Amino acid sequence: MEIERKWLVEGLPPLEKAEKVFRMDQGYLTVRPTVRIRREALEGGDTHYILCIKGEGGLSRREVEMELTPAQFGELEEILPAALIPKTQWRYPLPGGLTLEVNQVDRGRPTEFWYAEVEFPTESAALSWDPETAGLGEYLSREVTGQKGQSMGEYWVRTRL
C-alpha cells in the first residue's frame, strides 16, 4: 500500500544537501490502471529497472513493484506509445524517519515542473503531518494530494500522447 501526500513546488527545498539523487526515466503502458516502467539511476550508484502497477486512490492506493532486467525494460520501452519522461529526484531526510522526495520533470522543456511527495506508514500519520514541523510550511503550501489530473500518469497523457 502506498500512502503519500503530494505538493507542487518551485525548485529545491530550504534544506541541507540531499541524501540521495536519482536520474529517472519513466513511461506508461496504461494509466487506467497505472502500469509504469522506470529506470532509476542513483548518482554514484546502481541503476534499477522497475515495473510498477498502481490501483485507484488518492491519499492511499495499492502499489505493486517488481524489479526488471535491463533487457525486459528495453522490451517494454519498445512498446510504449510515446517517449519516456526524464526526471531528477532529490531525497531529503525529515524528522520522524520520513523522506521528502523532490522531483524535477522534463527539465528544459516548456512542460517542465516540480513536485514533492512524502510517503507515510499510515493514513492517520499522513493526515496529521504538518509540513511546518519540518520547516517546510511555505515550501509545501500547494498540496495536490488526490486532485484529479495531478498524477504523473495524467501528465504523460497530456504531454506525450
Whole-structure pTM value: 0.95
Query: What is the reported pLDDT for 57?
Result: 85
Measure Cα distances from 117 to 11, 13, 82, 90, 99 in Å.
13, 12, 25, 11, 8
Query: What is the reported pLDDT for 138?
Result: 97
Query: What is the reported pLDDT for 97?
Result: 96
Dmax over CA atoms of the chain, in Å, equals 45
- Region of 44 (left: φ > 0; alpha: ψ -120 to 50; beta: rest) is left
Contact 14, 145 (CB under 8 A): no
The residues annotated as belonging to the active site are: 28
Query: What is the reported pLDDT for 74?
Result: 98
Exposure letters 127-145 (e unless 16+ CB within 10 A, then b): eebebeebebeebbeeeee
CA dist., res. 86 & res. 107, Å (int): 8
3-state secondary structure of 147: coil
Query: What is the reported pLDDT for 56?
Result: 87
Domains of the chain (ranges, CATH numbers): 2-160 (2.40.320.10)
Query: What is the reported pLDDT for 118?
Result: 98
Query: What is the reported pLDDT for 140?
Result: 98
Evaluate if residue 135 carries a pLDDT over 90.
yes
Query: What is the reported pLDDT for 8?
Result: 98
DSSP string, 85-143: EEEEEEEEE-GGG-EEEEEEESTTSTT-EEEEEEE-SSHHHHHH--GGGGT-TTTT--B
Measure Cα distances from 88 to 20, 78, 103, 107 in Å.
11, 22, 6, 8
Evaluate if residue 122 carries a pLDDT over 90.
yes
pLDDT tens digits for range 73-119:
999 999 999 999 999 999 999 999 999 999 999 999 999 999 999 99
pLDDT tens digits for range 30-78:
998 999 999 999 999 999 999 999 998 889 999 999 999 999 999 999 9
Query: What is the reported pLDDT for 145?
Result: 96
Residue 30's φ and ψ, nearest 5 degrees, are -160, 155
